[in-house]
């Protein structure tokens, strides 16, 4: 039972355009959602997060949107840069369940110059 | 920037050997998590600790895996005996036990069991 799903294994975007990465979840107990970026041979790096009491959080070029009724979140990167090319993982947790992260399978983003 | 440190970065050993992976969490963090990444399963939680006490190790094969925190600066994950199916990248992460705080990951130990 996969509680967090990223249905697109890969995404290719032109430099300067918007990248939109999507994530769906099934567990309504999740109250905290995160996006991590991962380069090869490195650990996941925290990018941005959102609490379930919000529907949007913005940090520079990165914005995360949360739609609780649809159990859906998305990460927008504007404008996309070649250095953004990496695997992006969506993760979710519930404080009442110990804060352990449940990860999606990842989406590999390629930003082409 | 404070970082989670994992050693070794790479480990190749033969089936049946004991493997020990180490993690130094970020100073001041009181939760430590062990994850495993494989092609088939993605990133999955093996075990985690809060204030050095094990809270959940349901993700670990208990007959061969063990996780401990001898002190606040060291977490270990052992496999004995190792099997080829244990080949994966093992990540350690640490965080603060308050709501809405991200976990921070080390660069992992790439384990290959021949």
Per-residue pLDDT band at B26 (split at 50, 70, 90): very high
Q: What mean pLDDT is predicted for residues B77-82?
A: 97
User: Mind listing the pLDDT tens digit for each residue in A1-22?
Assistant: 689 999 999 999 999 999 999 9
Q: What mean pLDDT is predicted for residues A80-105?
A: 92
pLDDT of residue B106: 97
pLDDT of residue B97: 81
User: Mind listing the pLDDT tens digit for each residue in B29-57?
Assistant: 999 999 999 988 889 999 999 999 998 88
DSSP string, B1-53: ----EEE-SEEEE-TT--EEEEEEPPTT--EEEEEEEETTTEEEEEEEEETTE
Tell whether B107 is within 8 A of chain A (Cβ).
Answer: yes
Instruction: Supply B79's token pair.
Output: 């496999």
pLDDT of residue A63: 98
Reply yes or no on whether the pLDDT at B4 is more than 90.
Answer: yes
pLDDT of residue B56: 87
CB distance A99–B42 less than 8 Å? no
pLDDT of residue A54: 96
Residue of A2, A5, A3, A18 lying closest to A109 (CA atoms): A18
CB distance A41–B107 less than 8 Å? yes
pLDDT of residue A36: 97
User: Mind listing the pLDDT tens digit for each residue in B52-75?
Assistant: 999 888 889 889 999 999 999 999
pLDDT of residue A99: 80
Reply yes or no on whether the pLDDT at B100 is more than 90.
Answer: no
Q: In chain B, which residues have their Cβ closer than 8 Å to the Cβ of A106?
A: 42
Q: Is residue A112 exposed (0-12), middle (13-18) or buried (19+ Cβ within 10 Å)?
A: exposed
CB distance A89–B43 less than 8 Å? yes
pLDDT of residue B98: 73
CB distance B102–A49 less than 8 Å? yes
Question: If contacts are CB pairs under 8 Å, which of residues 22-61 in chain B contact chain A?
Answer: 31, 33, 35, 42-45, 48, 50, 55-56
Q: In chain A, which residues have their Cβ closer than 8 Å to the Cβ of B93?
A: 43, 101
CB distance B104–A32 less than 8 Å? no
pLDDT of residue B109: 98
pLDDT of residue A95: 82
Q: In chain A, which residues have their Cβ closer than 8 Å to the Cβ of B46?
A: none
User: Mind listing the pLDDT tens digit for each residue in A59-72?
Assistant: 999 999 999 999 99
Q: Percent of chain A at pLDDT above 70?
A: 99
Taking only Cα atoms into account, the Rg of chain B, rounded to an integer number of angstroms, comes to 13
Q: What mean pLDDT is predicted for residues B10-22?
A: 97
Residues 6 or more apart whose Cβ sits within 8 Å of residue A76 = A18, A19, A20, A62, A63, A64, A65
Residue B96 vs residues A8, A15, A48, B5, B105: alpha-carbon distances, Å: 31, 36, 16, 17, 13
pLDDT of residue B2: 80
Of the residues B23, B33, B43, B49, the best mutation for testing chain A's interface (the one with the most A CB atoms within 10 Å of its CB) is B43
Reply yes or no on whether the pLDDT at A98 is more than 80.
Answer: no
CB distance B91–A32 less than 8 Å? no
């Amino acid at each position: 039972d996969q509680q967090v799903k990223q249905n697109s294994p890969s995404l290719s975007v032109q430099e300067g355009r918007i990248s939109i990465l999507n994530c769906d979840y099934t567990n309504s107990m999740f109250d905290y959602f995160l996006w991590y970026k991962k380069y090869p041979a490195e650990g996941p790096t925290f990018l941005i997060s959102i609490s379930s009491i919000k529907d949007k959080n913005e940090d520079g070029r990165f914005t995360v949107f949360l739609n609780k009724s649809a159990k859906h979140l998305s990460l927008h990167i504007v404008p996309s840069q070649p250095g953004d090319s990496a695997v992006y993982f969506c993760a979710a947790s519930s404080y009442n369940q110990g804060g352990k992260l449940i990860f999606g399978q990842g989406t590999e983003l390629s930003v082409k110059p | 920037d404070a970082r989670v440190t994992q050693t070794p970065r790479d480990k190749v050993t033969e089936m049946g050997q004991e493997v020990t992976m180490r993690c130094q969490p970020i100073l001041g963090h009181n939760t430590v998590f062990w994850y495993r990444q494989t092609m088939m399963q993605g990133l999955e939680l093996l075990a985690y600790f809060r204030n050095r006490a094990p809270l959940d190790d349901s993700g670990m094969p208990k007959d061969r895996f063990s996780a401990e925190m001898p002190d606040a600066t060291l977490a270990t994950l052992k496999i004995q005996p190792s099997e080829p199916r244990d080949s994966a990248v093992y990540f350690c992460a640490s965080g603060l036990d308050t709501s809405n705080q991200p976990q921070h990951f080390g660069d992992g130990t790439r384990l290959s069991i021949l």
